[in-house]
Each structure stands twice: as structure tokens, then as C-alpha cells.
Amino acid sequence: MTSPHLATTPLEGSLGGEPQGQRPARLDVVHLAKSYGTGDGAKKVIEDLTFSVSAREIVCIVGPSGIGKTTLLKCLAGLQPTSGGRAAIDGREISGPPPEMALVFQDYSRSLMPWLTVRKNVVLPLRHLRLPKAELKARCDEALEAVGLAHAENQFPWQLSGGMQQRVAIARALAYRPEILIMDEPFASVDAQTRFDLEDLCLKIREGFGMTILVVTHDIDEAVYLADRVVVLGSKPARVLRIVDVELPSPRDQIGTRALPEFAAQRTDVLSLIKRPA
């Protein structure tokens, strides 16, 4: 990535070697509970979740299908009220969409406007910020550069591959310059090679932009590859089974890191938590 922003925003030290407890928490989830509906018809989806995400940390959430991962992200994004406990950014309770947060969903085909070019799709959510034209252009240029799509700015989403469309969705989030990026199964709909590329893009975004990133994924290998910590959800209604510290060297790379015996050990650790009888 050669964007000026990426080049001029070095991180202080390596996250890989920095103990999690020494970094300030940005996102706090404390005894969060969530039910849909009220009264006799209420459905309790989340029982009690407590975890935090530190500044510039990547945390992955894994757990069985239907456990409430998307529900959790909706609560954190201020799109759903919680039914108990609290979620906070820098100690401020989340009660609506937090301005310092951006979201990327799995279904890029529904999140991009097919009648708008790539550039216009990236600029669209920035409209309400009423930025000067030059600033809009600079943000868009930087984001497209960061995801390797500067050459495709005048194309339409339907002219792009699935992986490229997901890059546009990520560029749109980056152009917003969020401090916290939340992604819900962001790479689930692309082929394996593109998925590896997008995972590495995620790591580069953290390094270059210093973002705090929370990712929901079904893919245990992906969680271990990306994360500083993996929050394993289980049981119904959902609770935290365990928070696994991923102790793998940084920087990570798709071939070397995945070949490490520690990688296999950590993925087995997470998988056995998910597969164990309730």
C-alpha cells in the first residue's frame, strides 16, 4: 500500500509483542444481554457477554451459526438496543451509531449501489459530513489506493469481481476514517485466494491506519490468522466460552504463519471449544 496516509501513520511498536493489558480499551462489552421481543414471546439470544477490544487490536468473534454474532455487532453499532449490561466506546455508552465506527458486511452485492461508479460508492456515506470537495477527493483517493482499486474508480460494481466489490465496501469504510472498524463475515463470499488477500489487507489496514478492528467470522483459521485475541461464543443463549490470546509472531504471512506448529495448536484450541458438547 502506498497511500500517503498509510505511509505517514506508523504504529508505535509492534502489537505482536505488546501485552494486551498495557493498551487502553476502546470498546468495552460488559455483561451485555439481548432479547428480541417482549413478554412471553421474548427470545433471549445473548445471555451475558463480557470482553473488551484494545486500541489497535484485532479481535475475532467465532461461534456456531445462529449463536448471536450478528446481533452482537448490531448492538455495538448502535443499530439494536441491548436488553441488559452495556457496551461503551472509551467509557461512553453506545446508544446510537457511534461516529468513530464503520461497518463492513458480508453481502457486498447489497451494500453497493449498482448505478454508481466505484468512486461514487466510496464517497456516498461521506456526503453528510459536508467536507470540502478536495478533502472528499483525497479521502477517496487514499481509500481506493489502500485497497488496490485506484485503477477501477470509474467502473461500476457489476463490472467487478466479488473480491473487488468487497474491496470497494472496505474502501468505503476506510474513506470514512473510522477509528473502529467492525466487519461481519466480510470475506465469506469470495474464493480462497481472494480471501487470503483480503485478510492481509485487513492486517495492513490495522498497521497503516492504526485502527481497532472487530471481525465476526465462521472460519477458525481466519480468526487465528488475523486476531490478537479470539472471543469464542457458545451455548444458547450466547455467552463467552473463552477468550484465546493468539500467540503468533508478527508480521504474519499466509504461508509461513499457517505452517507454524503454534498456528495448528491455536486453531485446535479454538475448534475444540466450539465443537465440545454444550
Ligand X SMILES: Nc1ncnc2c1ncn2[C@@H]1O[C@H](COP(=O)(O)OP(=O)(O)OP(=O)(O)O)[C@@H](O)[C@H]1O
Residues near ligand X (CB under 6 A), total: 10
For residue 96, the minimal CB distance to ligand X (Å) is 18
Site stretch for ligand X (CB under 6 A), options 63-71, 91-99, 117-125, 243-251: 63-71
For residue 38, the minimal CB distance to ligand X (Å) is 11
Is 2 a binding residue for ligand X by CB under 6 A? The answer is no
Measured from the CB atom, the residue of 87 and 140 that comes closer to ligand X is 87
Can you spell out the DSSP letters for 60-116? EEE--TTSSHHHHHHHHTTSS--SEEEEEETTEEP-S--TTEEEEES-HHHHS-TTS
Q: Give 126's contacts (C-beta < 8 A, 6+ positions apart).
A: 136, 139, 140, 175, 176
> Which residue shows C-alpha cell 509461513?
256
For residue 268, the minimal CB distance to ligand X (Å) is 21
Is 50 a binding residue for ligand X by CB under 6 A? The answer is no
Measured from the CB atom, the residue of 23 and 44 that comes closer to ligand X is 44
Is 36 a binding residue for ligand X by CB under 6 A? The answer is yes
> Which residue shows C-alpha cell 504463519?
257
Closest by CA position to 27, among listed 45, 61, 50? 50
User: Contacting ligand X (CB under 6 A), which of 6, 15, 32, 45?
Assistant: 45
Contact 141, 1 (CB under 8 A): no
Is 69 a binding residue for ligand X by CB under 6 A? The answer is yes
For residue 60, the minimal CB distance to ligand X (Å) is 13
Is 10 a binding residue for ligand X by CB under 6 A? The answer is no
211-to-10, 46, 157, 207, 242 alpha-carbon distances in Å: 12, 27, 26, 8, 24
Site string for ligand X, 70-99 (x = CB under 6 A): xx----------------------------
Tell me which residues touch ligand X (CB under 6 A).
Answer: 36, 43, 45, 65-71
